[in-house]
């Protein structure tokens, strides 16, 4: 369990289906209108929340843009925003700044783009330009190049909760003094094979938008969310504005892949981070999925005094940064104590608390 109360968040950058930037996200979350629509053919068949207004112009040089897969493009722009928001030039920090990325789909879009022509045409179809992006950590490598980041780096795959694993590792590197700042980032991009597999596996809602708690399925989304973490000492020394304090982040694994085990694990994680005092605000990770929603439903019933959870995935979709949108939503309104629960479809179930959230 981690109690990194000496860790603060000083920068935020967002690429979401509602648009790029903090204001677009805040407006979207306040009005609560889902961003789902028929997807462009290049991203897959069916409905989802795509970042159709995403604009890297003026941020990613055109020569670089050609080499990047979709999650890396989103990550680059979100990181650019986060550094600007924090008022921090990362280059002079060199190896004192770490990168921790969470993703569900990272590398998969490029794997499909590489493999499809290879399977159809053999070695002639294999592209040496595409293959390097087929690794899940492609985004962190591109970020290192773009921003001169030379500290430790890790990319996590933890299903719907990967960005919470990244958050935990980023905070740990700061606490152990392996870095003074950490860019924590969630990023995911939509691609045809993902849509096909989710639909064939009957995970997607068939009609209309997903309904939280219904268990009828989710709709996919995409985007990236960047969070700059610093030690309080480092942030205060440079006069940074502190957006929030990371009070706690923890996970409890579900031993069996069953609804009751997942619910018990999420409840344990939430209990650990909350202690006696309840949250002023609750951001939940339910998406309409029968594998996620019951866990938070049970938690809500067990704590009737807690505020009703806000569900960003009902607006921006599942995936979309592997838990990153939940952390982002927690930073969009002022609050004394915000709890974020992030149920996963198997394995570890995450919870975190942010304190002193300021705009």
The position carrying tokens 């990047």 is 68
Q: Quick one: 18 or 184, whose CB is closer to another protein?
A: 184
| Rounded (10°) CA dihedral 213, 280, 275, 348 | 40
Give the residue, chosen from 145, 258, 302, 359, that forms a contact with another protein under the rule CB under 8 A.
145
* Least gap, CB of 176 to another protein (angstroms): 5
Q: Does 246 bind another protein (CB under 8 A)?
A: no
Give the residue, chosen from 22, 27, 150, 209, that forms a contact with another protein under the rule CB under 8 A.
150
Among residues 358, 350, 311, the alpha carbon closest in space to that of 162 is found at 350
The position carrying tokens 């990967």 is 162
CA distances from 353 to 165, 244, 249, 338 (A): 14, 10, 7, 6
CA distances from 255 to 164, 265, 299 (A): 19, 8, 18
> With b meaning 16 or more CB within 10 Å and e meaning fewer, what string describes 128-145?
eebebbbebbbbbbbbbe
> From CA 73, how far away is CA 141, in angstroms rounded?
12
Restricted to residues 282-301, the positions that interact with another protein (CB under 8 A) are: none
Q: Are 253 and 265 in contact (CB under 8 A)?
A: yes
What secondary structure does DSSP assign to 159-194, as a single string? TBTHHHHHHHHHHHHHHTTS-SEEEEEEEE---HHH
> From CA 240, how far away is CA 237, in angstroms rounded?
8
Q: Quick one: 199 or 232, whose CB is closer to another protein?
A: 199
Restricted to residues 329-348, the positions that interact with another protein (CB under 8 A) are: 346-348
Give the residue, chosen from 138, 219, 292, 314, that forms a contact with another protein under the rule CB under 8 A.
138
Binding mask 47-86 for another protein (x = CB under 8 A): --------------------x-------------------
Q: Quick one: 171 or 357, whose CB is closer to another protein?
A: 171
Q: Quick one: 21 or 348, whose CB is closer to another protein?
A: 348
Listed in sequence order, the residues at least 6 apart from 221 whose beta carbon sits closer than 8 Å to its beta carbon are 16, 17, 35, 36, 48, 49, 50, 188, 190, 313, 316, 317, 318, 319, 320, 325
* Least gap, CB of 31 to another protein (angstroms): 31
Give the residue, chosen from 152, 284, 294, 321, that forms a contact with another protein under the rule CB under 8 A.
152
Q: Does 140 bind another protein (CB under 8 A)?
A: yes
Q: Does 126 bind another protein (CB under 8 A)?
A: yes
Listed in sequence order, the residues at least 6 apart from 316 whose beta carbon sits closer than 8 Å to its beta carbon are 16, 17, 18, 28, 35, 49, 221, 223, 325
Give the residue, chosen from 3, 175, 232, 303, that forms a contact with another protein under the rule CB under 8 A.
175
Burial class (CB within 10 angstroms; exposed 0-12, middle 13-18, buried 19+) of 271: middle
**Stretch of 29-37, 117-125, 279-287, 328-336 lying at the interface with another protein (CB under 8 A):** 117-125
Give the residue, chosen from 58, 92, 122, 239, that forms a contact with another protein under the rule CB under 8 A.
122
Give the residue, chosen from 172, 262, 281, 313, that forms a contact with another protein under the rule CB under 8 A.
172
> From CA 273, how far away is CA 51, in angstroms rounded?
33
Give the residue, chosen from 201, 277, 301, 305, that forms a contact with another protein under the rule CB under 8 A.
201
* Least gap, CB of 25 to another protein (angstroms): 27
* Least gap, CB of 95 to another protein (angstroms): 6
Among residues 138, 131, 149, the alpha carbon closest in space to that of 70 is found at 138
* Least gap, CB of 33 to another protein (angstroms): 28
Restricted to residues 254-273, the positions that interact with another protein (CB under 8 A) are: 255-257
**Stretch of 170-178, 236-244, 305-313, 332-340 lying at the interface with another protein (CB under 8 A):** 170-178
Residues found near another protein in the complex (CB under 8 A): 1, 67, 95, 99, 104, 106-108, 111-112, 114-116, 118-120, 122-123, 126-128, 131-132, 134-138, 140-142, 144-145, 148-159, 165, 169, 172, 175-178, 193, 196-201, 203, 251-253, 255-257, 346-348
């Amino acid at each position: 369990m981690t109690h990194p109360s000496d860790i603060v968040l000083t920068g935020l950058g967002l690429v979401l289906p509602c648009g790029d930037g903090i204001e677009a996200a805040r407006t979207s979350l306040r009005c609560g209108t889902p961003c789902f629509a028929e997807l462009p053919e290049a991203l897959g068949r069916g409905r989802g929340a795509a970042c159709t207004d995403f604009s890297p112009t003026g941020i990613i040089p055109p020569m670089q843009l050609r080499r990047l897969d979709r999650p890396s493009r989103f990550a680059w722009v979100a990181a650019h925003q986060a550094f600007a928001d924090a008022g921090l030039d990362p280059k002079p920090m060199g190896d004192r700044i770490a990168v921790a990325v969470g993703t569900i789909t990272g590398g998969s879009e490029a794997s499909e783009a590489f493999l499809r022509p290879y399977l159809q045409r053999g070695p002639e179809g294999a592209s040496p330009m595409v293959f390097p992006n087929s690794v899940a950590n492609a985004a962190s490598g591109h970020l290192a190049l773009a921003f001169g980041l030379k500290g430790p780096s890790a990319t996590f795959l933890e299903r719907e909760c990967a960005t919470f694993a990244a958050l935990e590792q980023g905070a740990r590197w700061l606490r152990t003094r392996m870095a003074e700042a950490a860019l924590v980032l969630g990023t995911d991009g939509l691609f045809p094979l993902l849509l096909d597999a989710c639909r064939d596996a009957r995970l997607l809602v068939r009609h209309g938008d997903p309904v939280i708690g219904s268990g009828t399925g989710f709709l996919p989304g995409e985007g990236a969310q960047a969070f700059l973490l610093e030690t309080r000492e480092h942030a205060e020394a440079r006069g940074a504005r502190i957006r929030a304090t990371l009070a706690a982040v923890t996970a409890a694994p579900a031993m069996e892949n069953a609804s009751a085990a997942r619910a018990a694990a999420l409840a344990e994680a939430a209990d650990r981070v909350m202690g006696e005092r309840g949250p002023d605000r609750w951001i939940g990770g339910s998406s309409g999925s029968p594998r996620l929603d019951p866990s938070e439903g049970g938690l809500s019933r067990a704590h009737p005094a807690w505020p009703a959870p806000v569900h960003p995935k009902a607006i921006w979709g599942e995936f979309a940064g592997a838990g990153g949108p939940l952390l982002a939503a927690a930073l969009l309104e002022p609050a004394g104590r915000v709890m974020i629960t992030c149920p996963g479809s198997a394995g570890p179930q995450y919870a975190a608390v942010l304190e002193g959230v300021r705009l």
